[in-house]
């Protein structure tokens, strides 16, 4: 079976011996578990180590929701982006408007918008729905508020006991208010291993449960990750594509390319890019360092930021995810009048046109002095998506170590929370509240 591969043609010349050596050293830190943040390396062996019992429990919990029309996946950051990335990549783009026998997974708790939650509540009124509440710490404000509101709606609709049956908590096995809630209320609970951070948690119940609820094959997803693990947990540069990717993006960064744009010509990968942005942004952006992770959806964005990419400041490089095969086939019909002048395309597959746009953009961007990294995958299937997720997880760990940062913490995420709690008058934040109010009055 072919695998995900990496093409570095237009940027190989940026790679120096020093970058390759740094990448090998960084891989060693990861493999020997002696780098910073080494208490958060549980994700590394997860594809092989995940217990059959745990997987069985994920599938059993997914089955609980079979009769629901909707399941709301409550979580923020790493607690929802992986599931959303995979479900969007595998699903029918228009599934919300089509009939189907499986529940739809909807998302909440990733923002504080009143209109968003109001409209979600409005949709769920009178419908059969369940809730999976995902929070490793168990106390993150956005998901906690969403849960309070949606749980109340569920109780109002089906009563306390049934609401408990239709709820699953995915959280720490040790601490946190979500864990306490689940224990007290006798709500089903499945744990996130302590040594797996949020953005690295796709192969735990955080990602696997919503993906299984939507009916996708989590065994194939894990098989893909396992096969990628075999080649990327290695210090052999020539065969390790995660290491090559980490090395070349650091070489580009050192050459002044401070922004990486993850692009694809498949709208189904839009949320994959959101997952990727979190993975790289939270792992690398610290100590005044780090490539800024951006994304573009082509050809849509070729008609907007495409101009900037082609001719703007040369501080960017592109990483394109190219998918070889589509799921469906669609030919362009011929038309007798040919008023749109498209008969030269009659009988040709739309994918041929899309691939021509991809090649055309790649060449134009290289000509415009934008280095292009290409990641090729055969199809958008569970197996290859499992490979792709694991490929990026290893790459960001190596890349972070090359940059000399701890890729597994996110200290900067706390800054806005302190201000928000102070503004809202959370007990314990009195001093911060006084300071912030004084600052706002100035
Ligand atoms: O990657 C991370 O660790 C974060 O993005 C978390 O996933 C996010 O902040 C949510 O945290 P929690 O699951 O504790 O609610």
Q: Strand runs (DSSP E) across 67-206, as ranges?
A: 70-74, 104-108, 129-135, 167-171, 188-191
What is the rounded distance in angstroms from the CA atom of residue 184 to the CA atom of residue 186? Answer: 6
Tell me, what's the pLDDT at 257? 98
What's the average model confidence in pLDDT over 259-279? 98
pLDDT of residue 68 exceeding 90, the answer is yes
Mapping DSSP to helix (H, G, I), strand (E, B) and coil, where does residue 170 land? strand
Q: Which residue's CA is minimally distant from atom 3 of ligand 1? A: 198
What is the rounded distance in angstroms from the CA atom of residue 116 to the CA atom of residue 376? Answer: 36
Tell me, what's the pLDDT at 96? 81
358-383 residue pLDDT tens: 999 999 999 999 999 999 999 999 99
ipTM of the shown complex: 0.97
> Tokens for 242?
């995660």
- Candidates 282, 284, 358, 393; catalytic one: 282
pTM over 0.90: yes
d(CA 76, ligand 1 centre) in Å: 6
Tell me which H or E stretch contains 279: helix 270-284
Q: Which residues contact 352 (CB under 8 A, 6 or more apart)?
A: none
Mapping DSSP to helix (H, G, I), strand (E, B) and coil, where does residue 125 land? coil
Tell me, what's the pLDDT at 206? 98
Contact 374, 317 (CB under 8 A): no
Q: Which residue's CA is minimally distant from atom 8 of ligand 1? A: 77
- Can you say how many angstroms the Cα of residue 292 is from the centroid of all Cα atoms in its chain? 16
Contact 366, 372 (CB under 8 A): yes
140 Cβ inside 6 Å of ligand 1: yes
Nearest C-alpha neighbor of 391 from the set 202, 194, 192: 202
133 Cβ inside 6 Å of ligand 1: no
Q: Which residue's CA is minimally distant from atom 2 of ligand 1? A: 198
What's the average model confidence in pLDDT over 88-113? 92
d(CA 403, ligand 1 centre) in Å: 23
d(CA 295, ligand 1 centre) in Å: 21
Pairing of strands 259-264, 104-108: unpaired
What is the rounded distance in angstroms from the CA atom of residue 400 to the CA atom of residue 392? Answer: 12
Q: Which residue's CA is minimally distant from atom 15 of ligand 1? A: 135
Tell me, what's the pLDDT at 100? 78
Tell me, what's the pLDDT at 1? 61
What's the average model confidence in pLDDT over 38-53? 96
Mapping DSSP to helix (H, G, I), strand (E, B) and coil, where does residue 107 land? strand
pLDDT of residue 2 exceeding 80, the answer is no
d(CA 197, ligand 1 centre) in Å: 7
220-239 residue pLDDT tens: 999 999 999 999 999 999 99
Judge whether 184 counts as a catalytic residue: no
> Tokens for 304?
């907007």
Q: Strand runs (DSSP E) across 161-302, as ranges?
A: 167-171, 188-191, 259-264, 292-297
198 Cβ inside 6 Å of ligand 1: yes
What's the average model confidence in pLDDT over 410-420? 90
Judge whether 282 counts as a catalytic residue: yes
């Amino acid at each position: 079976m072919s695998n995900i591969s990496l093409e570095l043609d237009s940027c190989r010349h940026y790679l120096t011996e020093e970058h390759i050596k740094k990448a090998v050293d960084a891989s060693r830190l990861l493999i020997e578990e002696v780098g910073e943040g080494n208490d958060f390396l549980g994700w590394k062996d997860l594809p092989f180590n995940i217990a059959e019992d745990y997987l069985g429990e994920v599938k059993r919990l997914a089955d609980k929701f079979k009769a629901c029309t909707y399941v709301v996946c409550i979580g923020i950051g790493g607690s929802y982006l992986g599931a959303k990335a995979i479900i969007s990549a595998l699903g029918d783009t228009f599934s919300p408007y089509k009939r189907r026998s499986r529940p739809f997974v909807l998302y909440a708790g990733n923002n504080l918008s009143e209109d968003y939650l109001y409209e979600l509540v409005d949709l769920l009124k009178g419908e059969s729905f369940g809730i999976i509440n995902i929070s490793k710490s168990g106390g993150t404000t956005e998901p906690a508020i969403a849960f309070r509101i949606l749980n109340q709606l569920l109780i109002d609709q089906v009563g306390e006991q049934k609401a408990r049956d239709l709820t699953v908590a995915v959280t720490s096995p040790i601490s946190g208010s979500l864990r306490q809630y689940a224990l007290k209320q006798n709500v089903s609970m499945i744990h996130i291993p302590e040594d797996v951070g949020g953005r690295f948690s796709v192969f735990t119940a955080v990602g696997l449960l919503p993906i299984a609820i939507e009916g996708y094959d989590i065994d194939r997803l894990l098989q893909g990750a396992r096969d990628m693990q075999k080649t990327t947990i290695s210090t052999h540069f020539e065969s390790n594509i995660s290491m090559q990717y980490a090395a070349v993006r650091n070489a580009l960064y050192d050459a002044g390319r401070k922004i990486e744009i993850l692009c694809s010509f498949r709208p189904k990968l839009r949320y994959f890019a959101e997952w990727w942005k979190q993975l790289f942004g939270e792992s690398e952006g610290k100590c005044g360092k780090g490539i800024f992770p951006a994304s573009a959806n082509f050809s849509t964005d070729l008609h907007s930021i495409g101009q900037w990419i082609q001719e703007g400041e040369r501080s960017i490089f592109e990483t394109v995810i190219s998918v070889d095969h589509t799921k469906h086939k669609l030919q362009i019909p011929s038309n007798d009048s040919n008023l749109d002048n498209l008969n030269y395309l009659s009988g040709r597959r739309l994918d041929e046109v899309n691939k021509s746009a991809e090649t055309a953009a790649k060449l134009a961007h290289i000509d415009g002095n934008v280095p292009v990294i290409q990641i090729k995958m055969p199809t958008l299937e569970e197996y290859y998506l499992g490979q792709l997720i694991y490929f990026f997880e290893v790459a960001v760990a190596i890349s972070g170590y090359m940059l000399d940062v701890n890729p597994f913490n996110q200290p900067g995420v706390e800054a806005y929370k302190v201000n928000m709690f102070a503004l809202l008058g959370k007990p314990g934040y009195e001093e911060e509240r006084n300071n912030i109010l004084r600052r706002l009055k100035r």
